[in-house]
Structure 1
Amino acid sequence: MIYPTGRAVLLAAAGAPAALVIGVLLPGFWYIGLGWPVFVFALTAIDAVTGAWPREPQAGLAIANTAFVGADISATVRLSFPRAAPRAVDAIVELSPLIDAPAGPRATIILAGQAGAAAIPLVAARRGVARITGLWLRWTGPMGLAWKQRRDPLDTRVIVTPDVRPVRERGAHLFLRSAMHGLIAQLDRGDGAEFESLADFQAGMDRRAIDWKQSARHSRLLAKEYRTERNNNIVFALDAGRTMCEPLGGVPRMDRAVSAALLSAYVALKLGDRVSLFGFDSKPRIASGAVSGARAFGLLQRLAAELDYSEEETNYTLALTTLGGKLNRRSLIVIFTEFSDPTSAELMLRAASRLLDRHLVLFVVLDDQELTDIAAAAPDTADDVSRAVTAAELLRERRIVTTRLRHAGFHVLESPHNRVGLKLVAYYIDLKRRNLL
């Protein structure tokens, strides 16, 4: 495609006053005023046929095939001309809604000789398969009067997966650190419910563990050691409803929850527990069933990647009733959700209360720093006052819901989004040490 640039249009319009004067003063020679636009058109035509034609350059897009949600993606546009290359070429990439371009999907390629390249910084905004369908190129002729443009169709796919970097970077570190400090040994022996053996009482042991009869018989203090039960059931229930798809620090809440759940699942599998994944919105979406062993982590990761975003309201009654019917033994149920309003929170509380008879339920709630900042900001205008009052009311309603959950017997973990994985692992290990699972 070839069309005039803004410079050509302005240059042609510059002759309009002269044509108007000629038409007023010399009406018989009005056609002389057309000479300037015709001259500009001729220059534009010459500019269009000189230099490189739109079909000549070889272009390509180099981009990673996979990316973690929230991670940066490096995309590089490469271009080469067989002859007479222009000084610069504008390139625009047609992006999927799953990928954001903070500085825009456009780059200017400065050619050195007959080839050049430019990078376009991208960010994986949401999970799924992102498709890049086209690459637009545009440059001007030698005089800058004609644009030469073309579109190259592309069929490039970028698979955006849950962020498992915390699992790779922190999961093994947490497990090894626990082993270094004796936590694994302590979980195996010392605390728990199943009697293991008798040992000499040491400073720091629980005095309630002293076996007085055996101590009197052997004339020294003996304490009972217990073995912590393994093979506990851990269920990670992920709310994929509308409120969990809102961004938090540039990444949807649900993706923050998925990363924390995968990190905790990795540690739980390493500690010998059975883990299952359950996703729901208006109805149950995925249910993995209980799996065990570190090799099962890949299955959980694939299922988490399949949990899609939803614009529907969460049906807690249907989801939690279905989940409760699938569990045939006591389990730790970790529910990732967001309290959107008191009405939905009341429905959630009633549905979850049925699980307390047999199971241990932990709610994980991400702190909304944006709301906190709005409520704490100094108001300068009436709109600032309105926003601050609304934010404070939302925070108050959340505190009311979390307080009611704790009073009802639920465990509640509130955490910033950048620390939720570590805090959840610590909370899970603490529950396991206290033999509450």
Structure 2
Amino acid sequence: MIYPTPRAVALVAAGFPVALLPALVHPRLWGLWLVAAALSAIAIGLDALLAPAPRGVSMEIDVPGQLPIGEAGAARVSIAGVRGARALEVLADLHADLAPQPVRGIQPGPDGRAELEIPLLARRRGRPTVDALWLRWQGPLGLAGRRRRVEVARAISVVPNLRPVRAAAFRYFGARELSAGVQVERFLGDGSEFEALVEYVPGLDPRAISWKASARHRELLCQEFRAERNHQVVLALDTGHLVAEPLEGVPRLDHAVSSALLLAYVSLRLGDRVGLYAFDRAARAWAEPQGGLGSFARLQTLSAQLAYSTEETNFTLGLAELSTRLRRRSLVVVFTEFVDTVTAELMIENLSRLARRQLVVFVSLRDPGLDAAALAAPHRVGDVYRSVVAADFVRERERVLARLRRMGIQCVDAAPGQVSAQLVNRYLDIKRREQIA
């Protein structure tokens, strides 16, 4: 398709009044504007003929097969056959789950080839597609433009982002320990599981003295304990409509999945057994708790398959179903979301029922924008209304969390960038204190 460029429109618009000036000198010179119009049309047509034909333009695109959510990737595009063109522009036609990209301009080389990268940023998990590429270029004079649509139809698998998991794992364990398989945190001195016999020195608990071992070795020996392993940790993920809402550009569910995978990795490294449960209106996924780092891949695959739901979460059915699947006391980490005290009543009731037999940790994501709106200095009347409403939501949120804490439920309520670290630290503290047994 051939179309006039803004330069051509400006040339015609500027030349038309100039061509009419001779008519002001003599009426018989009015036809000169026809000559000017014809010359403009000839210049535009000549520029269109000199521009590369769409049939001679070829394109190759390399789309990544997998993309972590929230991380930027790139599609590499190679274009050939645009020799002599100027102002080459490329626009990617992307699926709605990929962030839209602006038109990108590039100058072709002398050989008529051009290469560029189109950023790809996934907003949700799934298999979004790069549908097509629009190419637009101008002739040598910049008066006529041509365009071509190239079908792509390439799908990208958007998976949970494991980079924060790896980074935090190295931070908690260290590169040397990860490669050697050494257990870093053993919680020596805490817990109830026997670790070793050590020589008694002043300052040790006299109650830990082993009199039989001391008699055998004829020296005063003291028992050293460590935190018990082989506990059962269950990650319960709410997949209802509230957690499908975006927070900082990523759905809340995906923030929860990243935090859950990090906790799963740390728990498996420390010898516990980890399972996964997902629910909204009904149970959606279940993985029996298993130990060993080999089961981490199973949890990763299952969490990547969790779908975004538009259903209202049924806490009564979901948590009751989870209770029937747990045959021993476990640490149940519930990732969910609520709006206010009214909508949270059923959630609180069922969490309290679950906490009678299990140790429950409640995890929710705090919206930094809501806190900022509540504390923002008002400049207009609308700002006052907004601040008051935001402050009401913050207060109701604190009321719900306070009620849960009074029931013995441990709460982690933090911004997306802080929730993973706080959750792991809470788990380590629970394990050190032997609260699961």
The TM-score by the shorter chain falls in which range?
Answer: 0.7 to 0.9
User: 1:184 and 1:207 mapped to 2: Cα distance?
Assistant: 27
User: 2:74 and 2:435 mapped to 1: Cα distance?
Assistant: 46
For the residue of structure 2 that corresponds to 1:418, the secondary structure is: helix
Summarize the Cα distance change of 1:177–1:56 in structure 2 as closer, same or farther, 3 Å threshold.
closer
User: 1:130 and 1:314 mapped to 2: Cα distance?
Assistant: 26
Summarize the Cα distance change of 1:27–1:252 in structure 2 as closer, same or farther, 3 Å threshold.
same
For the residue of structure 1 that corresponds to 2:261, the secondary structure is: helix
- Please tell me whether the aligned partners of residues 92 and 136 of structure 1 are also in contact (alpha carbons under 8 angstroms): yes
Summarize the Cα distance change of 1:197–1:120 in structure 2 as closer, same or farther, 3 Å threshold.
closer
- Determine if the alignment matches structure 1 residue 109 to structure 2 residue 141: no
1:45, CA displacement in angstroms?
2.2
Structure 1 unaligned segments of length 5 or more: list them.
none
For the residue of structure 2 that corresponds to 1:244, the secondary structure is: coil
For the residue of structure 1 that corresponds to 2:56, the secondary structure is: coil
**Amino acid in the other structure paired with 1:326:** R
Tell me the equivalent position of 1:326: 325
User: 1:128 and 1:410 mapped to 2: Cα distance?
Assistant: 33
1:396, CA displacement in angstroms?
0.6
User: 2:424 and 2:398 mapped to 1: Cα distance?
Assistant: 23
User: 1:253 and 1:32 mapped to 2: Cα distance?
Assistant: 68
Tell me the equivalent position of 1:397: 396
Tell me the equivalent position of 1:40: 40
Deviations 1:285-319 (A, max 9, x none): 21122122101111111111111222332222221
Tell me the equivalent position of 2:264: 265
User: 1:391 and 1:343 mapped to 2: Cα distance?
Assistant: 16
- Please tell me whether the aligned partners of residues 278 and 287 of structure 1 are also in contact (alpha carbons under 8 angstroms): yes
- Please tell me whether the aligned partners of residues 106 and 120 of structure 1 are also in contact (alpha carbons under 8 angstroms): no
1:433, CA displacement in angstroms?
1.2
Aligned CA-pair RMSD: 3.4
User: 1:185 and 1:139 mapped to 2: Cα distance?
Assistant: 61
User: 1:24 and 1:320 mapped to 2: Cα distance?
Assistant: 88
Deviations 1:63-89 (A, max 9, x none): 43222111111333322227x431230
Tell me the equivalent position of 1:163: 161
- Please tell me whether the aligned partners of residues 198 and 225 of structure 1 are also in contact (alpha carbons under 8 angstroms): yes
User: 2:283 and 2:28 mapped to 1: Cα distance?
Assistant: 83
1:247, CA displacement in angstroms?
2.6
**Amino acid in the other structure paired with 2:300:** Q
- Determine if the alignment matches structure 1 residue 57 to structure 2 residue 57: yes
For the residue of structure 2 that corresponds to 1:79, the secondary structure is: strand
User: 1:178 and 1:256 mapped to 2: Cα distance?
Assistant: 28
**Amino acid in the other structure paired with 2:428:** I
- Determine if the alignment matches structure 1 residue 81 to structure 2 residue 77: no
Tell me the equivalent position of 1:342: 341
Summarize the Cα distance change of 1:30–1:179 in structure 2 as closer, same or farther, 3 Å threshold.
closer
Tell me the equivalent position of 2:148: 150
Tell me the equivalent position of 1:240: 239
| Bigger Cα displacement from structure 2, 258-267 vs 58-67 | 58-67
1:399, CA displacement in angstroms?
0.5
Question: TM-score, length-normalised on structure 2?
Answer: 0.87
Tell me the equivalent position of 2:118: 120
Tell me the equivalent position of 2:6: 6
Tell me the equivalent position of 2:129: 131
User: 2:266 and 2:203 mapped to 1: Cα distance?
Assistant: 27
- Please tell me whether the aligned partners of residues 107 and 119 of structure 1 are also in contact (alpha carbons under 8 angstroms): no
- Please tell me whether the aligned partners of residues 94 and 105 of structure 1 are also in contact (alpha carbons under 8 angstroms): no
**Amino acid in the other structure paired with 1:108:** G
User: 1:111 and 1:67 mapped to 2: Cα distance?
Assistant: 29
Summarize the Cα distance change of 1:207–1:253 in structure 2 as closer, same or farther, 3 Å threshold.
farther
Correspondence 1:313-392 to 2 at 5 A: 313-392=312-391
1:28, CA displacement in angstroms?
11
1:434, CA displacement in angstroms?
0.8
1:11, CA displacement in angstroms?
4.1
Summarize the Cα distance change of 1:183–1:119 in structure 2 as closer, same or farther, 3 Å threshold.
closer
- Please tell me whether the aligned partners of residues 179 and 185 of structure 1 are also in contact (alpha carbons under 8 angstroms): no
**Amino acid in the other structure paired with 2:109:** A
- Please tell me whether the aligned partners of residues 89 and 137 of structure 2 are also in contact (alpha carbons under 8 angstroms): yes
- Please tell me whether the aligned partners of residues 281 and 310 of structure 1 are also in contact (alpha carbons under 8 angstroms): yes
- Please tell me whether the aligned partners of residues 178 and 184 of structure 1 are also in contact (alpha carbons under 8 angstroms): no
**Amino acid in the other structure paired with 2:388:** V
| Bigger Cα displacement from structure 2, 28-37 vs 291-300 | 28-37
**Amino acid in the other structure paired with 2:377:** A
Tell me the equivalent position of 1:284: 283
For the residue of structure 2 that corresponds to 1:147, the secondary structure is: strand
User: 1:9 and 1:218 mapped to 2: Cα distance?
Assistant: 101
Deviations 1:393-429 (A, max 9, x none): 1111110000000011111112232122222112111
1:334, CA displacement in angstroms?
0.4
Question: TM-score, length-normalised on structure 1?
Answer: 0.87
User: 1:36 and 1:210 mapped to 2: Cα distance?
Assistant: 108
